[in-house]
Every structure is written in structure tokens, then in C-alpha cells.
Amino acid sequence: MTTLQDCIALDAADPLRELRDLFTLPQGVIYLDGNSLGPLPKAAPGRIAHAVQQEWGEGLIRSWNTAGWFELPQRLGDKIGTLVGARPGEVVATDSTSINLFKVLSAALSIAHADAPSRRTIVSERSNFPTDLYIAESLCRERGMTLRLVEADELGSAIDGRTAVLMLTHVNYRTGAMHDMRAVTAAAHAAGALVVWDLAHSAGAVEVDLHGAQADFAIGCGYKYLNGGPGAPAFVWAHPRHADRFWQPLAGWWSHAAPFAFTPDYRPAPGIARYLCGTQPILSMTALECGLDTVLAAQPHGGMQALRRKSLALTDLFIALVEERCGGQGLGLATPREHARRGSQVCLTRDEGAYAIVQALIARGVIGDFRAGRPDILRFGLTPLYLRFEDVWHAVEHLWQVLDAGEWRRDEFNRQHAVT
């Protein structure tokens, strides 16, 4: 059995251990929910205060030029691009994940229809994140198309001559299961379909190579593993072979080829800039840049490869300790054991009391989250930037105590909150 002293020794030998100091982490809290909201970078309050007091307060409208506000979507996009296998000038930070998905899925459907009008189906995983399915459903209703939902192991047979677009989240939000992006994209292309990837649970957590996979479109989130703050702007990428083929449907002035020419007609900007829309939320963009810099701080230590190695070691340890300490307590494992199929989270199942168990853990300072379904999920994100092996040991010890004492049965842990 792995001991606490073993974990402390692992932390002492961890080449990434100093990155924890980049974050504000509350005393007495073990944070296992960075896959929903990353913690506060220590640099963010001062940087945002500077943007408010100096750039906005003193620079006023001049700061669009003097403080580089206008270039923020591209500058942040290039930083994100280094984490997902995109090239300079191919990514922009903008809008929300849902809005960006609407843009790229619309463009992908237009391309597919132009190339093969008979392709009128979007295929996705039944357990894909709901907002992705809702956006796809709305587009299908608008265009008279069909959304076909299948289980993950049915994707290969579901893609056929009717498929216009395969839309998938790279790492499943409920289970942590990760698709083989290269293999799935190749199979879709062989069947004549385009692929849209949602990287919300991948960017900053696992290695992604969009160009290596020959992906078509990708979008992702700024407030999870990229630590950009609540509601942080998202990002969007289009492969250069597609970027200029069609307008995206939200043709706002920021995506115009010459926005300050103020012409009444729309001319789309070349490349990824046409996937912008309206004026950017500068304070949120400022916070996002601080979050991106925490991830990029791993580059001298091995970058995403080093983060991925530690992520796998942390999730391996969590799984092993749960099975050692909590056997016989009704917990199942939803997350794949195979490294190639696992994101940076561990998801446990339980037939009874999953929500209450998570609430009891939160009361003890171990913050994970709950996802309803069949079965219910206790979800724990293990972010290598700031999580220690010692934290994993203590988290599982708390889990065992909650289960062994039946602490989760208490009334206060069974009252549902608005956000679960």
C-alpha cells in the first residue's frame, strides 16, 4: 500500500512542484475541481487592477492602441495554440465555448453541404456535453438536418455516406475517457466527413496535436485547465484549409476585413480572424492571459509532456488508493485505466448517495463535483500544475472516512444546491 511518506517523497522529487506557488490556494483545501474552474493565479488580481486603474482609468479609449487591447484575441490565441498543436495566427481567444461551437459547426456544415449535398447528418456521442448537443440540435432544426447520437463504441459504424460532421469532445466530461484524435479523425475523413473537436477538458491538461491529427475545427474553454477565471473567454481554431471557405454565421464587426472602415457591407477577414464577432471583454481577456501563463510556465520543465506524465501519475495514484482504502464501499470506476484513453480526471460511480458524498467531502475541504446520470458520478479533476501527491493521499483518506462513518447520510449533505 502506498503510504503518506511515499507521497511526500514523490512531491519532493517532482520537477513541477514550484508551479504550485503560482496560485492562490485556500488553506485547508484540496482542490480537485480544476476541470470545472481553475484556481486563481496569484498574478491575476494585480494584472486586472492595472488594466482597470491604469489602462482603463488613465489610458481610457487610447488603451485599444497603447495597451494592446485590440491584439488580445490573437496574442492569447497564439499562446493557446502552443498547447493544442496549432501554428501562430491560427487560434483566437473570443466569446464562449457554445458560441464558438455554433460558428465552427455552421461553417463545417456549409463546407460539407457544398462538397456533398446528400450529407445531412451530424453524429455525436450520446454522453457528449449537453451544450454541444443543444447547439447541434438547434442547427439541425434550422437546416432540416438530423442529429444522430450513439455510444462511444458505436462511432465507427455510425459514420457513413450520410454523415456531414462528426462532433466530439476529446475528453468526456462525465467519465474522463479520451478519444484517439488522430485515429478518429482519419476514420471520419475516410468516410468523407469533417470533424469538430471540443477541447474543453483537454487544453492545458493533455497533449493535443491538431495539425498532427489533421483535425478540421476545434473549440475550447478558458476557465478550466487554462485557469482564466469564471466565465473566461473561450477559443476557436480552424484548419487553414477551411478557414477562408465560408463566412461564420455571427459576422460581427470584429471579424470584418477592415472593421474601422465602417462600410455597410460585410467583407470577412482572412483566416481565423473571421471567427471573431463583437467587441472583446478586455478585463476577462486580461485574466485569461494570467491563466495561460501559469500553464506556459511548465515549458522550461518539459511543457505539456511533463504535465501529462504527472497527470497520469496522479490519476494512477488516486485510482490505486481508492481501490486499496475504499474497497467494499460500493464505488465503481468510470474512467479508463489505459493511459492512452484517460484524461486528467478520475470519475467514480455509486448507486446511492453520490451527491451527498461529494457534499460531505466539500465540507471537509476536499472539493470535487457531482454529475447526475446513470450511474451518478463523483468527479475529481487532478491538475498537475498545483496538485501534490500528498493531496491525493489525504483526499482518499477523507473519502474513506466519509464512507466508513456514513457521514454522507446527514441531512445537510442531501440538500441539492443550484449548481452541482
Verify whether residue 371 is a known catalytic residue. Answer: no
Which 3 state secondary structure label does DSSP give 65?
helix
Query: What span, in angstroms and rounded, lies between the C-alpha atoms of 367 and 394?
Result: 12
Residue position matching grid coordinates 478540421: 216
What's the helix, strand, coil split of the chain in %, to 5? 45, 15, 40
Distances (CA, A) of 342 to 100, 159, 169, 212, 271: 25, 23, 13, 19, 33
* CA–CA gap between residue 204 and residue 144 (Å, rounded): 36
Please state, in angstroms and rounded to a whole number, the distance separating the CA atoms of residues 198 and 183.
16
Give the other-Cβ count within 10 Å of 220's Cβ.
30
- Reported as half-sphere exposure (CB side, CA atoms, 13 A), residue 210 has a value of 30
331: amino acid identity, one letter: L
What is the residue type of 183? A
- Phi first, then psi, for residue 371 (nearest 5°) are -130, 120
Locate cell 459504424: which residue?
Answer: 157
Q: Tell me, yes or no, if 23 is annotated catalytic.
A: no
Distance from chain centroid for Cα 105: 18
At 195, is the secondary structure helix, strand, or coil? strand
Using a 10 angstrom Cβ sphere, with 0-12 exposed, 13-18 middle and 19 or more buried, the burial of residue 260 is exposed
Would you call 224 a catalytic residue per the annotation?
Answer: yes
Distance CA 32, CA 26 (A): 13
Dump the DSSP string for 152-184. GGGHHHH--TTEEEEEEESB-TTT-BB--HHHH
The active-site residue out of 379, 386, 388, 391 is 379
Catalytic residue (choose from 129, 225, 355, 380):
129
Q: Clarify whether 379 is annotated catalytic.
A: yes
Q: Which of 102, 217, 223, 380 is catalytic?
A: 223
C-alpha to C-alpha distances, 258 to 249, 274, 407, nearest whole angstrom = 18, 11, 62
Instruction: Choose among 205, 231, 209: nearest CA to 288.
Output: 231
Catalytic position from the list 224, 325, 371, 388: 224
Specify whether 293 is catalytic: no
> Which of 14, 33, 132, 198 is flagged as catalytic?
198
The set of catalytic residues is 129, 198, 223-224, 379
